[in-house]
Amino acid sequence: MSLPAKQNTIHIEQLRKSYNEHGAGDIHYIIKDVNLVIKGGEFFVLLGPSGCGKSTLLNMIAGFVSKSGGNLKVDDVEVQRPGSDRAVVFQQADSSLFPWLTVRENVEFGLRMKKTPKAERREISDRYIRLVGLSGHEAKFPKELSGGMKQRVQLARVLANDPAILLMDEPFGALDAMTRRTMQKELVNIWRETHKTVIFVTHDIQEALLLGERIGIMSVGPSSNITDIYDNTLPYPRDVAAPEFYSLYNRIQAHFEEE
Amino acid sequence: MKWLEKKWVSVSLLWLGALIIWQLGALLYGPDVVPGPWATIKGGKELIADGTLMQYIGISFYRVLIGWVLGSLLAIPVGLAIGKVHIIRIFAEPFLNFIRFIPPIAFITLFLVWFGIGEQSKIALIMYATFFIVVLNTLTGVLAVEEDKIRSARSMGAGEWQILLHVIVPATTPYIFTGVRLAMGTSYMAIIGAEMIASNEGVGYLIWNSRLFFRTDWIFVGLFCLGFMGFFTDRLFGWFGRKVLYRYGVVTAGPRRR
């Protein structure tokens, strides 16, 4: 596989999001002065407690939420609106999948919007439905699928558009523990196969350690920030029982308990 | 008591009970005040024999159908626009909430002045009766579309028109369907009022005109016709929803409820 011409590097400098900017009284920051560089092809995890603004940061990278200050660039291009280079996998599959479309039609949605010819659409959707392990379920509607399968549909649906960057907002948060474990393994496999840049939001330390090459820790809001970045060089697939895994887990755990 | 839950048993019992009470009422008050089932059937036969009943049903049905279809077709895009465009909603919503309390019947005289005594004024009245219900339901549907759906479409490269056509319209379909179905009911109410006041034909005219001859049995015939017309069009529309709009999540009261 040849190297992509673009590096798909995400540059974030002094990024802020505030509300009540024009009102009377103090300005409240959701996130304040975030600095971060995410390299192309990297698996980056944003870890932090609920309400710390990690979803806000993700939504800003997606282009859904506008910034109040600072810089947010993908390959020197300022992020201003959503784009098909940055795909989003939402936490709730039920609210983001289209229930009136079958699995295949959901996966082909982006291609249909781009008016890709039907034969090509079918070929691409076949490939990604197979990749996420949903072959044989193409004609089903989302309501006929389990929670884990719905998240697979979401994954196949965004991958079909061949985005450079995958933004995932606690996508396995609503799944049961066993399904979740399977999905984590498969996500790692898909990432290694497709070389996408992944930014994965979670509040689960174990999940962060299983998935990420780097783990950015976000402080408790308001005015939250990325306070530390942990490198996780353990080889994939990762073993929860390995001593290195355990010691890193304890370090991050201790980090949160100090706060 | 399982056999009672069978539909044909419960429905037959219901109608049998109604018939008995009706007949008792007729015996108690006499045929001029409450014409019994038999008298009503005889009255119906008379009206069928001279052809007026079928003609009246046809004309009432035609008015409702034209006005209801046109009103819905007009209301759906308006509802979508009000729901989708914030600035339109700011202006439209107070107006909608004011005018929806004015019943169609209240407009009859004005519509006669504006559209003449012909079919136009009746169809305009049905359109009015349909319009606001469908607009309000469509609007509610648009506002209920999950933000995640719009966001995911947008991040998959869909433009604003594509989002409207491929996300908002299908997601709103169950609401539109409910609105259109409810509008059918108000359309029947409106047309009967209009035909009573300003028409020479139609089921409403039949009911109103029967008073001149003191034919209460004809009134009963008219009432039954209305019930059946509404019942069958509603069933037909519900069946259409279940069959054709199934994938959009249109659910109508099926044969079995729980």
* pLDDT tens digits along A133-188: 889 999 999 999 998 899 999 999 999 998 889 999 999 988 888 888 888 998 99
Residue where the block lists tokens 């609105």: B179
Report the number of distinct structural domains present in chain A. 1
Mode of pairing for the β-strands spanning A43-47 and A197-202: parallel
Per-residue model confidence (pLDDT) at position B211:
87
Q: Which residues of B touch A87 (CB under 8 A)?
A: 155-156
pLDDT tens-digit map of A34-68: 888 888 889 999 998 887 888 888 999 999 988 88
pLDDT bin (cut points 50, 70, 90) of residue A22 is low
Which of A107-116, B161-170, B208-217, B243-252 has the lowest average pLDDT? B243-252
Cα torsion B149, B152, B153, B154: sign: positive
Please give the helix or strand (H or E) that residue A11 lies within, else none.
Answer: strand A10-19
Query: Are A113 and B153 within 8 A, CB to CB?
Result: yes
User: In this prediction, what percent of chain A has a pLDDT beyond 70?
Assistant: 95
Which of A23-27, A75-79, A170-174, B71-75 shows the lowest mean pLDDT across its residues?
A23-27
Interface test with A, best of B146, B147, B148 (most A CBs within 10 A): B148
Nearest-by-Cβ selection for B155 from A62, A92, A101: A62
Q: Report the alpha-carbon distance of residue A108 to residue B85 in Å, rounded.
A: 28
Q: How far apart are CA A34 and CA A13, in angstroms?
A: 6
CB atoms within 10 A of CB B25: 14
| Domain assignment of residue A206, yes or no | no
The domain in which residue A138 lies consists of: 94-162
Residues of chain B neighbouring A99 (CB-CB closer than 8 A): 247, 249
Structure tokens at A105: 């039609």
Which chain B residue shows the shortest CA-CA distance from A108?
B156
Q: What is the largest CA-CA distance in chain B?
A: 73
Q: Using the predicted structure, report yes or no on whether residue B253 has a pLDDT greater than 90.
A: no
Which band of pLDDT confidence, cut at 50, 70 and 90, is reported for residue B258? very low
Q: Is residue A131 part of a domain?
A: yes
A62 interfacial to chain B (CB closer than 8 Å): yes
| Largest CA-CA distance found in chain A, in angstroms, rounded | 58
Distance CA B162, CA A158 (A): 17
Tell me if A29 is assigned to some domain. no
pLDDT band at A19 (very low <50, low <70, confident <90, very high): confident
Question: Where residue A23 falls among pLDDT bands split at 50, 70, 90?
Answer: low
Can you point out the beta strands (E) in A101-203? Answer: 165-169, 197-202
When computed from its CA atoms, the radius of gyration of chain A, rounded to whole angstroms, is: 19
> Would residue A122 count as lying in a domain?
yes
Structural domain includes residue A32: no
* pLDDT-based confidence at residue A6 (cuts at 50, 70, 90): low
Chain A residues close to B165, C-beta within 8 Å? none
Instruction: Give me the residues paired with residue B205 across strands.
Output: none
Q: Is the pLDDT of residue B64 over 60?
A: yes
Burial B124-144 (b: 16+ CB within 10 A, else e): bbbbbbbbbbbbbbbbbbbee
Structure token digits, residue B85: 């465009």
Residue of higher predicted confidence among B59 and A30:
B59
- Structure tokens of A113? 């919007």
Distance CA A17, CA A221 (A): 12
End-to-end CA distance of chain A: 44
Helix (H) or strand (E) holding A31: strand A28-38
Closest CA to B226 of B46, B108, B56: B56
Dihedral sign, CA of B144, B147, B152, B157?
Answer: positive
A113 and B159: CB-CB below 8 Å? yes
**pTM of the predicted structure, to 2 decimals:** 0.84
A234 part of a folded domain:
no
Q: Which of A2-16, A25-39, B164-178, B197-211 has the lowest mean pLDDT?
A: A2-16
Verify whether the Cβ–Cβ distance A90 to B152 is below 8 Å. Answer: yes
Which residue in chain A has the smallest CA separation from B163? A113
- The span from the CA of A220 to the CA of A200, in Å, is 18
The model's confidence at residue A84, banded by pLDDT at 50, 70 and 90, is confident
Residue A149, domain member (yes or no): yes
ipTM, two decimals: 0.86
Q: Is the pLDDT of residue B1 over 70?
A: no
Q: What is the pLDDT of residue A21?
A: 60
A42, part of any domain: no
Instruction: Please say if the pLDDT value at position A128 is more than 50.
Output: yes
